[in-house]
Amino acid sequence: MMYRSIFAATALMTLAVTPANAAPCRGSKGKFVKCPDAAPAKPVNCKDAKGKFAKCGTTGAKPVR
């Protein structure tokens, strides 16, 4: 008898927590869609002392914001 009540309480707690963990996303029409991943990191561009694009890591190249 006691095992049933413990099992029932655990099952109810699990069901109550599950919707709170879900992160639903809605599309432009209000329908549920898959949530997009985090925005991809922008590639870093670098410029040399003359203002021309250069490969990052070369001497005198500084990142552009």
C-alpha distances (whole Å) from 23 to each of 26, 39, 50, 65 are 10, 17, 48, 32
DSSP letter, residue 43 = P
The model's pTM: 0.35
What pLDDT is stored for residue 37 in this prediction? 80
62 — phi, psi (to 5°)? -125, 145
For residue range 6-63, list pLDDT tens digits in order: 767 777 676 555 454 456 788 888 888 888 887 778 888 999 999 999 999 888 899 9
At 21, list the tokens. Answer: 């963990």
